[in-house]
Structure formats: C-alpha cells, structure tokens
C-alpha cells in the first residue's frame, strides 16, 4: 500500500496482483471542503457535518475516478451483518444510501462501492477471475459476527467465486496500540469462535488490547483466502491524526474516511 494522489484525492492505493481490472484504496482526511472537526475530506453521511460539504467531498472522490456521485454506493452502516448485493445496473443508485447494511458486493463495472470508517476496519475484496468486488465495514461487532466471512460466503454462493481466487486489503483502522476493549467484546468474540487469544493482549482485569485487522485477516484465512493474497495496512488511525479520522480519539466528533473499490 502506498500514498497516491489523483486530482484532489490523497489516498492509500492498494494494488491487487494480476492485470488491473479495478481501482481501489483508502482515503485520507486530506483535501475536501469540510471544516473542523470534520476537516476536511469527510465522506460520512451519518455525521453532523453539513450535508452539502459531505456531498461535495463524495463528488470529489467520484470525479477523481471518472464517475459521478450517483454511482458511488454506500449504505447506512449500523454495525450489523446485512449485505447489499448489486447484480444488475440501476437507473439511480442514490436510494441505497438509506438502506441499512454493513457490506456491499457487486459484479457491476463502473459502480464504486465503499464503506465509511473512523476506527473500524474497511475491507476490500476482489475476485479477478469472476470479476466480483466487495467492501466490508468491520468494527468489533461486525468482526465478532464474522461479517467478512459472510461476505466471502456471499461471493461464493451468489457469484460462484472460489475463495482461493479472492484477494483482500484491510485498510487503516484503530491499531492494537490504541484499542482497549472489555469483557462484552471478549464474550461476543468467543461465543462465535472468533480468534481472540492470538489477536489480543491482556493488559489488566477485564481489559485487553485488540488487533482488529489481525482478527479479520484470520477470518479471511479461515474462509479460504491464501494468506499471500491478504494485504494489511500497518497504520493506526488514532495515532495518525494528520491523516485519519478516529472516533475514539476525537470522542465521536469527527469525519469518516472511506475504503472504496470499483471494477473498471
Ligand atoms: Zn495507535
């Protein structure tokens, strides 16, 4: 993963192996038009930022990749496990904005799908063979509920993808350095047999540090993805104030960056 700039978008590009059939990456907070505390490329429609600023920012992202804002699809994220599947062209994609869900899968080229985050892990999936992409929003709840595994299973059952062909990129999220969690989080993980011991550090009574990216990497390997096809950002959004929004660090008053992907 490396920093890249296209027009007014500074983002972390994640290249997948093989001939390029998609564009994808993770935005930073740089550029854009939002004012503090949403400064400045806030892409989250669920924030208290001025809606016209968020629209302007989304439009900047879309235009940088040669599309219009109407074909940039995100859903209303609720820390659940519903997945929006877009398997045919739509006249208008804007209605998906109000639909509750935490992941999007599509086979449509020219449609950019994304998830917005400020601590949670944005995860992008690509099956180059079948030309299927997915974007997944994985906070601790989505991770405990194995949302990323559900997305891979959806790619398999709906589009006949082979997990061995699926590549993944786990974008910048809150790092283990800054992510203290307690017993309810541990219970949610262990109830669902989600890796815990290998991805946490016990730091006190009922206190752990959780490595969200590492857990999702393990879930993807369990789902059948080759470890060599999974990329991980090593950046912590909470530590990197200049580059990223962080909900915990900014005590809820902050913007959202986006993990985005589009079949070209
Ligand atoms: Zn950190």
CA pseudo-torsion sign 52, 55, 57, 59 = negative
111 C-alpha to ligand 1 centroid (Å): 33
Going by the DSSP 8-state scheme, the letter that residue 254 receives in this structure is -
173 C-alpha to ligand 1 centroid (Å): 9
Predicted confidence at residue 117, as pLDDT, reads 98
Q: Distance between CA atoms of 6 and 204, rounded to whole angstroms?
A: 45
Predicted confidence at residue 91, as pLDDT, reads 87
Contacts with 132 (C-beta within 8 Å, 6 or more apart), sequence order: 105, 106, 107, 125, 126, 155, 159, 161
From the CB of residue 193, how many other CB atoms can be counted at a distance below 10 Å?
9
What's the pTM value of the predicted model, to 2 decimals? 0.98
- pLDDT (tens, 9 = 90+) of the chain, 264 residues, equals 899 999 989 999 998 999 899 999 999 999 999 999 999 999 999 899 999 999 999 999 999 999 999 999 999 999 999 999 999 999 889 889 999 999 999 999 999 999 999 999 999 999 999 999 999 999 999 999 999 999 999 999 999 999 999 999 999 999 999 999 999 999 999 999 999 999 999 999 999 999 999 999 999 999 999 999 999 999 999 999 999 999 999 999 999 999 999 999
Judge whether 48 and 118 are in contact, CB under 8 Å.
no
250 C-alpha to ligand 1 centroid (Å): 13
Predicted confidence at residue 85, as pLDDT, reads 98
234 C-alpha to ligand 1 centroid (Å): 10
- Angle, helices 147-159 vs 212-222, to 10°: value is 30
235 C-alpha to ligand 1 centroid (Å): 8
Judge whether 218 and 79 are in contact, CB under 8 Å.
no
14 C-alpha to ligand 1 centroid (Å): 21
Q: Distance between CA atoms of 98 and 76, rounded to whole angstroms?
A: 6
Alpha helices in the chain (DSSP H): 51-64, 140-144, 147-159, 183-191, 212-222
Predicted confidence at residue 15, as pLDDT, reads 87
175 C-alpha to ligand 1 centroid (Å): 5
44 C-alpha to ligand 1 centroid (Å): 22
CATH topology of domain 21-263: 3.60.140
91 C-alpha to ligand 1 centroid (Å): 42
89 C-alpha to ligand 1 centroid (Å): 40
Please tell me whether the peptide bond between 124 and the residue prior to it is cis, using omega within 30 degrees of 0: no
240 C-alpha to ligand 1 centroid (Å): 7
217 C-alpha to ligand 1 centroid (Å): 18
179 C-alpha to ligand 1 centroid (Å): 7
Predicted confidence at residue 210, as pLDDT, reads 98
Greatest alpha-carbon pair distance for the chain in Å reads 54
CA pseudo-torsion sign 72, 219, 12, 167 = negative
149, containing H or E segment: helix 147-159
178 C-alpha to ligand 1 centroid (Å): 4
How many helices and strands (H and E) does the chain possess? Answer: 5, 15
Predicted confidence at residue 24, as pLDDT, reads 97
243 C-alpha to ligand 1 centroid (Å): 13
Predicted confidence at residue 240, as pLDDT, reads 97
Burial letters for 39-65: b for 16+ Cβ neighbours within 10 Å, e otherwise?
bebbbbbebebeeebbebbbebbbbbb
Cα-Cα end-to-end distance for the chain: 20
């Amino acid at each position: 993963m490396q920093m890249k700039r296209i027009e007014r978008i500074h983002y972390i590009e994640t290249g997948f192996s093989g001939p390029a059939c998609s564009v994808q990456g993770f935005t930073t907070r740089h550029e854009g038009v939002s004012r503090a505390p949403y400064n400045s490329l806030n892409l989250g429609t669920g924030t208290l930022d001025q809606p016209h600023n968020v629209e302007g920012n989304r439009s900047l992202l879309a235009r940088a990749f040669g599309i219009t804002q109407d074909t940039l699809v995100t859903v209303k994220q609720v820390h659940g496990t519903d997945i929006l599947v877009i398997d045919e062209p739509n006249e208008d994609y804007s209605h998906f904005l109000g639909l509750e869900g935490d992941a999007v899968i599509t086979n449509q080229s020219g449609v950019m799908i994304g998830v917005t985050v400020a601590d949670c892990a944005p995860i992008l999936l690509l099956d180059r063979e079948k030309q299927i992409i997915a974007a997944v929003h994985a906070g601790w709840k989505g991770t405990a509920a194995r949302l990323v595994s559900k997305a891979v299973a959806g790619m398999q059952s709906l589009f006949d993808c082979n997990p061995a062909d699926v590549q993944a990129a786990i974008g910048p999220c809150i790092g283990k350095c800054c992510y203290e969690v307690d017993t309810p989080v541990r219970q949610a993980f262990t109830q669902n047999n989600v890796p815990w011991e290998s991805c946490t550090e016990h730091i006190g009574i009922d206190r752990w540090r959780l490595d969200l990216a590492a857990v999702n990497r393990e879930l993807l390997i369990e789902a059948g993805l080759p470890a060599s096809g999974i990329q991980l950002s090593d950046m912590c959004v909470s530590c990197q104030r200049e580059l990223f929004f962080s909900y915990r660090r900014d005590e809820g008053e902050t913007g959202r960056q986006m993990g985005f992907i589009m079949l070209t």
